[in-house]
Amino acid sequence: MKLLNNPEFRQWFSTFLLVLAGILSFMVLSNFGVITGTISDFIRRLSPFITGFIIAYLLGIPCGAIEQRLGNVASGFVRRKARVLSVTITLLATVALITLTLFIVVPAVVASAQEFSAQIPTYINNIVAFSQTIMGPDFNLINALGLQPFIDDFSVMQIFDIIGYDSIWTFIVGVFGAATFVVNATIAIISAIYILLDAHRMKMFFVWLISSIVPSKTSSVFFKYVSNINLNLKTFIYCMVVDSLIMMTITLFGLTVMRVNFSIILALVIGVTNLVPYFGSIVGSLIIIFMAFLTEDVGTAVMVTVFIIILQQIDANVIKVKLFGDSFNLSPFLVIFSITIGGSYYGVPGMVLAIPIMAIVKTIFNDIMDYRRRVKTMDNRL
């Protein structure tokens, strides 16, 4: 202790730490590629567990709701085993949904895709006829582009012939590897199940660890924002999935009533694209309207256009308002800005998560500004 209180020793020791920090910084910069490669390789090896955590987080949304309901049941056994029962119900429902998708939805989509591919030459000839009504009877868009031989023999499998089966198979094997993919998928599923079962204990351990390392005031602020992030993210995912399911169901019903071809595929397009905020609904609507004019008569296509426009207005002004409420009160500029930045860096997942992340950033920024104003007000009073 006396040595540490010596001013000369403290000066020399500070200089030593500064020189050591400089040497370490130089070594890190000199081997930056090696270090980043090592980190990337480590993350790649952890990818099954990261995937398992993501699966557990997504399944944790319905699982938590089921557990809360079971916790209110009068039976003591059900309350004690609420977590295990909720995880079991969630997993069984997920397996049932996947089975339903594989044996009912996928075959229907494949059949519709095959039917659509068989009708593509007819649809293109209709486009040619329409272009001739505008440009003149001697104008042929397809012949002008030299696409007629390709159209005559078109099929979905022809696309694979053009790309090359060997290239596709080599790519799949090179990227995934059949055995490695199966092992990683198994590890991810098992990890997700254990994370779901031990979620409460893991949360308690995380709280204990942070509280032990970080001062109480800092840890309370940290837990506050982590809780807000978790709540906002779960709320956003839940609302987007429910909204997509509602839109997909209404679209399927409306297109079926109007007897539009490929209604299942078009409803799935609306459901999937609606998961992407702001731009997704626009893209999905344009695809359906284009397909309606391509595959149906003008009257039906106009009805589909009016139906989709009205449906999107109802979704934006009624359904989304009821689901989201004031959870994500962002201006249109911040929505477009966050989606653009998120999509440019992380693609579709970045676009999907852009709004809740921006909402969190806005909350933190507002809290900092409020704190600064309070401090300034107190300083002025003094």
Residue 355 and residue 338 in contact, taking contact as beta carbons nearer than 8 Å = yes
- DSSP assignments along 103-165, one per residue: IIIHHHHHHHHHHHHHHHHHHHHHHHHHHHHHH-TT--HHHHHT-HHHHHT--HHHHHHHH-H
Highest mean pLDDT, choosing among 98-102, 153-157, 322-326:
98-102
Q: Which residues contact 301 (CB under 8 A, 6 or more apart)?
A: 289, 292, 293
Q: Which residues contact 111 (CB under 8 A, 6 or more apart)?
A: none
Range name among 263-277, 295-309, 362-376 with the lowest pLDDT average: 362-376
pLDDT value of residue 176: 52
Please give the DSSP secondary-structure letter assigned to residue 260.
Answer: -
At residue 44's C-alpha, the angle toward residues 42 and 46, to 5°, is: 70
State whether residue 170 is helix, strand or coil.
Answer: helix
- DSSP assignments along 219-253, one per residue: HHHHHHHHHHHHHHHHHHHHHHHHHHHHHHHHHHH
CA-atom Rg of the chain in angstroms: 29
For tokens 């909720």, name the residue.
Answer: 86
* Alpha-helix residue ranges (DSSP H) falling in the chain: 7-30, 32-71, 76-80, 82-100, 106-135, 141-145, 148-152, 156-163, 165-175, 178-197, 199-213, 216-257, 263-273, 279-295, 298-314, 320-324, 332-381
Token digits for 169? 């198979």
Range name among 100-104, 245-249, 319-323 with the lowest pLDDT average: 319-323
Give residue-wise pLDDT tens across range 79-91.
778 888 888 999 9
Please give the DSSP secondary-structure letter assigned to residue 297.
Answer: -
Task: Report the chain's mean pLDDT, rounded to a whole number.
Answer: 77
The answer to whether the Cα torsion of 134, 136, 138, 139 is positive or negative is negative
Amino acid at 25: S
pLDDT value of residue 143: 62
Give residue-wise pLDDT tens across range 304-347.
999 999 998 888 778 877 777 656 666 777 777 777 787 777 77
At residue 86's C-alpha, the angle toward residues 80 and 90, to 5°, is: 170
